[in-house]
Amino acid sequence: MMTKKKPIIGYTARNGIPNFLNILISINIRIAGGKPLRLRPNKPFYNKGIDGLIISGGTDLYPARFKADPKPDYIYDEARDEMEIQWLSKAEKADIPTLGICRGAQLMNVSRGGSLHIDISKIYERAEYPSGLLANIFYRKPIKVVEISNLYSILKTNITRVNSMHKQAINILGDNLKISAREKNGVIQGIEDPDKDFFIGVQFHPEALILKDRFRNIFKKLVNASSKH
């Protein structure tokens, strides 16, 4: 009897050793039944066949890509930007199921011609969230999920609480994207392309909410969609 092959889920990362969130992404992929493959600028593995793609969080996207000015003294990772844009382009052309997490959701939006807010605390009221290690672990804020959306079909709820590890957020929406979740103050927490089977971006970090079924289900649905691909 032949064993069913696990779908390969490529997930992007910076160069160097995996950080804690990278490790959590890998664990979530394995729990969901997939096989993780770390993609990074010095080892992008463009020649590898993948069945699903995760664009993970990390350093801010270089602002010139959406016609904004870089922040003074901020160290950007343009090599990673380029790698992720190439992988996203390959995934879109081949209709590979794609999940964007935090920076990844922002990149998905920018790749479709959208833009970002560089500092949400200057745009939205009550958008100065706690920061630091303990806040990243324990702080939660409520978001409202659009009921007619792919994200709602995964989370099975229209109100949920998520973590907050970002200072930037989506501003102008990219082509053929719709908003699937927001905070009460207006900050966008989810986007998707409704015409694709799985093209979802979330501003929060579901990999760090691994103890909750609904957030593990995001990875499960990605892996299931990748199996069909």
For residue range 84-141, list pLDDT tens digits in order. Answer: 999 999 999 999 999 999 999 999 999 999 999 998 888 887 767 777 777 888 889 9
Percentage of residues in the chain with pLDDT exceeding 70? 98
Q: Which has more confidence, 73 or 10?
A: 10
Q: Is the pLDDT of residue 2 over 70?
A: no
Phi (first) and psi of residue 36, to 5 degrees: -75, 145
Whose CA is closest to 111, among 216, 2, 201?
201
Residues 90 and 5: their CA atoms lie apart, in Å, by 22
What amino acid occupies position 162?
V
Asked if residue 203 has pLDDT above 90, the reply is: yes
Q: What is the pLDDT of residue 3?
A: 63
Residues 27-66 have pLDDT tens digits of: 999 999 999 999 999 999 999 999 999 999 999 999 999 9
Report the alpha-carbon distance of residue 153 to residue 141 in Å, rounded.
21
- Taking all residues of the chain, what is their mean pLDDT, rounded to a whole number? 93
If we measure between CA atoms, which residue out of 30, 22, 20, 24 comes closest to residue 9?
30
Which among 162, 103, 165, 161 is positioned nearest to 134, based on CA atoms? 165
**Rounded to whole angstroms, what are the CA distances from 50 to 28, 47, 229?**
17, 9, 10
| Domain with residues 8-228, CATH architecture | 3-Layer(aba) Sandwich (3.40)
What is the 3-state secondary structure of the chain? Answer: CCCCCCCEEEEECCCCCCCHHHHHHHHHHHHCCCEEEEEECCECCCCCCCCEEEECCCCCCCHHHHCCCCCCCCCCCHHHHHHHHHHHHHHHHHCCCEEEECHHHHHHHHHCCCCEECCHHHCCCCCCCCCCHHHHHHCCEEEEECCCCHHHHHHCCCEEEECCCCCCEECCCCCCCEEEEECCCCCEEEEECCCCCCEEEECCCHHHHCCCHHHHHHHHHHHHHHHHC
**Which of the residues are catalytic?**
102, 205, 207
pLDDT (tens digit per residue) in 69-87: 998 989 999 999 999 999 9
Tens digits of per-residue pLDDT, 171-190?
999 999 999 999 998 999 99
Which sequence spans correspond to the domains of the chain? 8-228
Residue 1 has pLDDT above 60, yes or no: no
